[in-house]
C-alpha cells in the first residue's frame, strides 16, 4: 500500500511528496523531529512530544509550523488514512528554504517545512526483540553538546548502530568523560539491588518522553530510583539494565561489551516496567 504522507498542508501519496533541494533540513540538518508511537490506533503521549517539539524549536529560534491542535489533527488523520493500529509517526520541522545555500539563517518570514509520515509496525508492543533483550556495546560519545534538542543530526548515532551490528550486537551506549550518556536512540538505565539508576537530565542527553513516563510509573510502583552519573563498568556489574524510547518502549538489555547481565535474560524490573508502561500508555492514549 502506498503511504499517505503530510507535507506543508497537503496529504499526498509518498511518491508525490516533495521538498526543495535547498531545504536547510537537507543541506544542514537544520531541523528537529519527534517520533510518537501508536497503539490500538491511538497516540501515546502526544502531549509530551508536542511540548518537547515546541522546546526544540524555541531553542533554535525556529518558527512553529502550526498549533498543537493542528498537529494533533494531522497525526490522527495520518493514522486513519494509513490504517495504523501499531506503529510510529515521524514528524520533522526544518527551517525551510529561501532558495539557496547560506550559513546565515534565511529571512524571518521563511516558512518552516513540516513533514510527517507513518511507519506501520504490527506487533510493536509484543516484540520478539524485547523478549530476547538487547546486546549492547559501549562507544565514545562524540556528538555535539546540545543533545537535549531533538535535531536530525543523527549521523553519529547511525554509525553507532552500525558499530553495534558489526560487533554482532543490537545497539550502543555512548560514554563521555567516563560516564554513560545514553543509547544511540534511547535513554539508558541499570538496576542494582532493586534500585534503578539513570543519568539526570541536562543538555548531555535527550529528555526522553518515555523516560519521564517510566520513571513516574516506577515511582508509583514503589520502585527505588536514583538519578546520577554512572560508568559503563557499574552497568556491566548490574543485575539488569534497560533502555526507553518511543519506538521500543522499555527494552531489556542482557549484555554489555560481551558481559552478560544477571543470567543473561531480560530482568524482572525491566519486564515489569515494560508491562506497566504498555498498560498505562494504552489507557491514556488519545
Q: Which residues are catalytic?
A: 150
Closest distance of CB 225 from ligand PDD, Å: 16
Helix (H, G, I), strand (E, B) or coil at 166: helix
Closest distance of CB 181 from ligand PDD, Å: 8
Closest distance of CB 195 from ligand PDD, Å: 21
List of residues contacting ligand PDD (CB under 6 A): 35, 182, 185-187, 206, 208-211, 244-247
Q: What distance in Å separates the CA atoms of residue 105 and residue 98, rounded to the nearest whole number?
A: 9
Nearer to ligand PDD, 35 or 225 (CB): 35
Neighbours of 187 (CB within 10 A): 24
Helix (H, G, I), strand (E, B) or coil at 148: coil
The torsion region of residue 176 among left (phi > 0), alpha (psi -120 to 50) and beta comes to: beta
Closest distance of CB 174 from ligand PDD, Å: 8
Nearer to ligand PDD, 44 or 223 (CB): 44
- Taking the CA atoms of residue 91, residue 36, residue 126 and residue 212 in that order, the dihedral angle to the nearest 10 degrees is 140
| Orientation of helix 46-59 relative to helix 68-81, angle to 10° | 130
Nearer to ligand PDD, 38 or 206 (CB): 206
Q: What distance in Å separates the CA atoms of residue 22 and residue 34, rounded to the nearest whole number?
A: 22
Nearer to ligand PDD, 37 or 82 (CB): 37
Amino acid at each position: 500500500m502506498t503511504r499517505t504522507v503530510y507535507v506543508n498542508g497537503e496529504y499526498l501519496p509518498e511518491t508525490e511528496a516533495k521538498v526543495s533541494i535547498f531545504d536547510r533540513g537537507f543541506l544542514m540538518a537544520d531541523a528537529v523531529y519527534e517520533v510518537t508511537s501508536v497503539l490500538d490506533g491511538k497516540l501515546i503521549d502526544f502531549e509530551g512530544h508536542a511540548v518537547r517539539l515546541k522546546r526544540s524549536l524555541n531553542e533554535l529560534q525556529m518558527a512553529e509550523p502550526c498549533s498543537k491542535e493542528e498537529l494533533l489533527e494531522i497525526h490522527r488523520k495520518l493514522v486513519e488514512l494509513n490504517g495504523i493500529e501499531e506503529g510510529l509517526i515521524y514528524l520533522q520541522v526544518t527551517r525551510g528554504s529561501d532558495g539557496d545555500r547560506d550559513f546565515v539563517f534565511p529571512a524571518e518570514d521563511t516558512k518552516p517545512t513540516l513533514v510527517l509520515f507513518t511507519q506501520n509496525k504490527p506487533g510493536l508492543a509484543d516484540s520478539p526483540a524485547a523478549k530476547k533483550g538487547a546486546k549492547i556495546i559501549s562507544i565514545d560519545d562524540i556528538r555535539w553538546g546540545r543533545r537535549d534538542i531533538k535535531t536530525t543530526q543523527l549521523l553519529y548515532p547511525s554509525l553507532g548502530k552500525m558499530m553495534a551490528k558489526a560487533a554482532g550486537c543490537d545497539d550502543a551506549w555512548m560514554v563521555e568523560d567516563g560516564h554513560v550518556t545514553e543509547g544511540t536512540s534511547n535513554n539508558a538505565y541499570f538496576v542494582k539491588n532493586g534500585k534503578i539508576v539513570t543519568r539526570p537530565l541536562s543538555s548531555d542527553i535527550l529528555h526522553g518522553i518515555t523516560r519521564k513516563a517510566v520513571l513516574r510509573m516506577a515511582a508509583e510502583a514503589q520502585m527505588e530510583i536514583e538519578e546520577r552519573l554512572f560508568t559503563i563498568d557499574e552497568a556491566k556489574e548490574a543485575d539488569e539494565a534497560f533502555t526507553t524510547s518511543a519506538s521500543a518502549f522499555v527494552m531489556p538489555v542482557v549484555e554489555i561489551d560481551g558481559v552478560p547481565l544477571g543470567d543473561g535474560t531480560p530482568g524482572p524490573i525491566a519486564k515489569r516496567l515494560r508491562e506497566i508502561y504498555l498498560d498505562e500508555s494504552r489507557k491514556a492514549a488519545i
